[in-house]
Structure 1
Amino acid sequence: MDALPFYPFVLDAAVRDRKVEDMPMKVIQWGAGYTGAHALRYLINNPAYEVVGVKCFTAAKEGTDAGEIAGLGPIGVAATRDVDALLATNADVVLYMPRDALTDPSVADSPSRGWYVDLLPILASGKNVISPICSATHYRHLADPEGFLAGLNEACATGRSTVAFFGLDPGFLTDALPLTMAGAVGEVTQIRTYEVLLYAEYTEAETLSMLGFGARPQDLPPEGIESLKVSWGGVPYLVAEATGVLIEDITVDIDVALSPDTFTSPGGVTIGEGTIAGIKFSVSGISGGAPVVVVNHVTRMRADIGPDWPNVGTVGGYRIEIDSFPPFVGDFPLGLPGGTGSSFDDAMAMTAARCVNAIDAVVAASPGYKTFLDLAPLVGQHTIKAAAVSV
């Protein structure tokens, strides 16, 4: 496979110089779950953006004010399940956060194909889209990469719109930040990233079950292992695109830790004695016969599970290790004072922030599918809270 092109950063001056007193960007929040609620908070609290619509997926949330979903006061925008009404709403960008089945969206009968099909008319309606769906941060690792890309680009051409996928992991701590760190060293032989999180408060029992939590080791579902490759297999290709190396293969290695007793997590998920309560896996991009980019995850349902496994900080976080001259290592603990108090919830909030902070760059980009390599640097525009805006 030929090396993929590297795209220069370009930011339209009108967007680059936009001040918060200018007309705010009109945003539709598509999805009002964990990450969507955090995104709404950031949007509502920032005068640079105006929430003009909220897509919910359950009857229980229909009619609920967006501000209430975000834990704030009402803003006069009610959540709806009416897709046609949202498509007819004038908006600059959609933050697209539907539930994902963690399967290959390029396969026609895949459970994840639904979000892909639903995305196309949004793009064709002329709305730019930003989404944290893991599997789409790149496309080379998918079963039908060219078909996946062609469908998105066709919809973007129809609507003169742009679509980009990234969050915190992947989208920042697995790729954008390691690439920035690699810019300060030389002779890099391997880049490793670690996500170490406690999933105790996660309420999506179906997703946890698909990954293997609560199963006996011998019953570990093969679709769970495949979902790891689908979700994080794009990271090595993204790093390779930026650095000019060729990825020959993607491999997955997995280890599990069993629960010594039966317990129910704070999120309401029951883990039986002797079943999987911790999963440690790595997704590696192979180049020249050796792993050059390795994405590691350590996920526990309870803090005491897998005591010999890596940790970051006191309640979890992220680590980046670069084998280089000189070596470069960074630890990024989550769950710090002033946040949510949970490494998992902090990660969800930061995923939402990454999407919100990309709005200006995505709106300014040319039509089509983009990775963060194609966009202007995402530097936290409009994030500084100040009594007055200067310069």
Structure 2
Amino acid sequence: MSIKVVEWSTGYLGRMAVEAIEARPELELVGVFVSDPAKVGVDAGRLAGMDRDLGVVATDDRAALLALSPDVVVYTAETETRFMGAIEDFTEFLRAGIDVVASGPVLLQYPHGTLPEEMIDALAAAGRDGGATLHVNGIDPGFANDVLPLVMTSLSRRIDLIRVGEIADYSVYHQGETMRRLFGFGRTMDTLPPLLRPGMLAAGWGSVVRQLAAALEVTLDEPLIERHERLPADRDLSLLACEVPAGTQAALRFEVVGQVDGEDRIVLEHVTRTAVDQAPDWPRPDHGDGCYRIEIQGEPTMRVEFTHHAEHGDHNESGMLVTAMRLVNAVEAVVAADPGLVYAKDLPMITGRGLMKR
């Protein structure tokens, strides 16, 4: 019996999700939500760029989609600037008995210690009341810094330190608002970007640190530690998303650290450059221009670098693709999970079953 799926939004990530839902043998796409009036009435296959019809037309009628009684909503709508709107959506779906697999808000990847417990409890209660489950995940925060490191710890006899994170070239990253306003690239060095205000890094990535700690049954010191370092551009740079004049912020390195008795134990790190020759003393990938790196110090000491690229070599496109695939490929496991909130540490192994075709 197939799992009936509604895809919620057809932005860059949502279009990939539509095609992925169509590819999975156990999933049946029954509806697509769009917010752009120009997309209403357009077949989902055309919206996904598949050059064929899937027989499912997009709509902005929420009630009509819920009336389809889908088993699950794959939710790829933008959430970081409409956090409470997303919470309201999730609550409505859960109370209607519809499971939700979502790419954000990233705080919900593992919200304990970041969000008020009463807000978490309300979402979990909505799921229990409706008999439905919510799972939020992606690639970062997500698979690269929760599932992958936890799998590696199964090889450990002793764990002294876990360091996970991203080393990336953002010169071809296409999110201008994120690059300039949130990260501060291209802005003066005396302007502190919102991302680096006290508590913001822990709010965005602390869920990674806390989920790893919970999975390993480690009690962390509170609050989490935030560290950052910024470097200016030594020349004018023209990026895909914005301009970076000489002297303005061009590179950023930050850490969110979970300590035990004042000693670093779990570290989430991001190393972000906008030119390959910047910050030569900062960590670099062993190969290529970007990676997710997992390092476990202990017995034994281990390191893995995870890289990806699309068919035509674009790592930005493949970054979106792996995020969409993690969501869609997790649907079956989330549907089978107990009602409430389910986290990556609690899900069974998720594979690409059925995707190896002739």
Q: Which TM-score applies when normalising by structure 2?
A: 0.90
Q: Residues 54-65 of structure 1 correspond to what in structure 2 (within 5 A)?
A: 54-65=32-43
Q: 2:68 aligns with which of 89, 113, 116?
A: 89
Q: In the TM superposition, what is the alpha-carbon distance from 1:232 to its structure 2 partner?
A: 1.0
Runs of 5+ consecutive residues of structure 2 not aligned to the other structure: none
Secondary structure at 1:184's aligned position in 2? coil
- Tell me how far apart the structure 1 counterparts of residues 108 and 39 of structure 2 sit (CA, whole Å): 27
- Tell me how far apart the structure 2 counterparts of residues 264 and 89 of structure 1 sit (CA, whole Å): 48
Instruction: Say yes or no: does 1:154 pair with 2:125.
Output: yes
Q: Paired residue for 2:345?
A: 373
Instruction: Say yes or no: does 1:343 pair with 2:315.
Output: yes
Query: 1:139-186: CA deviations, max 9, x gaps?
Result: 123141x12211211221232100111111222111111111111122
- Tell me how far apart the structure 1 counterparts of residues 203 and 85 of structure 2 sit (CA, whole Å): 16
Q: Paired residue for 2:109?
A: 137
Secondary structure at 1:229's aligned position in 2? helix
Instruction: Say yes or no: does 1:295 pair with 2:268.
Output: yes
Runs of 5+ consecutive residues of structure 1 not aligned to the other structure: 1-22, 103-110
Is the Cα–Cα contact under 8 Å of residues 281 and 297 in structure 1 kept in the other structure? yes
Q: Which deviates the most, 44-53 or 278-287?
A: 44-53
Is the Cα–Cα contact under 8 Å of residues 252 and 281 in structure 1 kept in the other structure? yes
Is the Cα–Cα contact under 8 Å of residues 182 and 194 in structure 2 kept in the other structure? no
> Quick one: percent identity of the two aligned structures?
33
Q: 1:59/1:141 Cα in 2 relative to 1: closer, same or farther (>3 Å)?
A: farther
Q: Which deviates the most, 358-367 or 132-141?
A: 132-141
Query: 1:294-353: CA deviations, max 9, x gaps?
Result: 111122334444344322221211111110112111112223xx6351223222211111
Q: 1:188/1:206 Cα in 2 relative to 1: closer, same or farther (>3 Å)?
A: same
AA aligned to 1:180 is V
How many residues are paired up?
352
Is the Cα–Cα contact under 8 Å of residues 256 and 276 in structure 1 kept in the other structure? yes
Secondary structure at 2:145's aligned position in 1? coil
Q: 1:227/1:181 Cα in 2 relative to 1: closer, same or farther (>3 Å)?
A: same
Q: Paired residue for 2:87?
A: 116
Q: In the TM superposition, what is the alpha-carbon distance from 1:94 to its structure 2 partner?
A: 0.9
Q: 2:255 aligns with which of 282, 289, 298?
A: 282
Q: In the TM superposition, what is the alpha-carbon distance from 1:368 to its structure 2 partner?
A: 0.5
Q: Paired residue for 1:256?
A: 230
Instruction: Say yes or no: does 1:332 pair with 2:311.
Output: no
- Tell me how far apart the structure 1 counterparts of residues 143 and 91 of structure 2 sit (CA, whole Å): 25
AA aligned to 1:37 is R
Is the Cα–Cα contact under 8 Å of residues 146 and 345 in structure 2 kept in the other structure? no
Q: Which TM-score applies when normalising by structure 1?
A: 0.83
Q: Residues 1-391 of structure 1 correspond to what in structure 2 (within 5 A)?
A: 23-73=1-51, 74-101=53-80, 111-133=82-104, 134-144=106-116, 146-208=117-179, 209-225=181-197, 226-249=199-222, 250-266=224-240, 268-312=241-285, 313-335=287-309, 339-383=311-355, 385-387=356-358
- Tell me how far apart the structure 1 counterparts of residues 201 and 63 of structure 2 sit (CA, whole Å): 34
RMSD: 2.1
Query: 1:348-372: CA deviations, max 9, x gaps?
Result: 2111111111111110111101112
- Tell me how far apart the structure 1 counterparts of residues 348 and 111 of structure 2 sit (CA, whole Å): 20
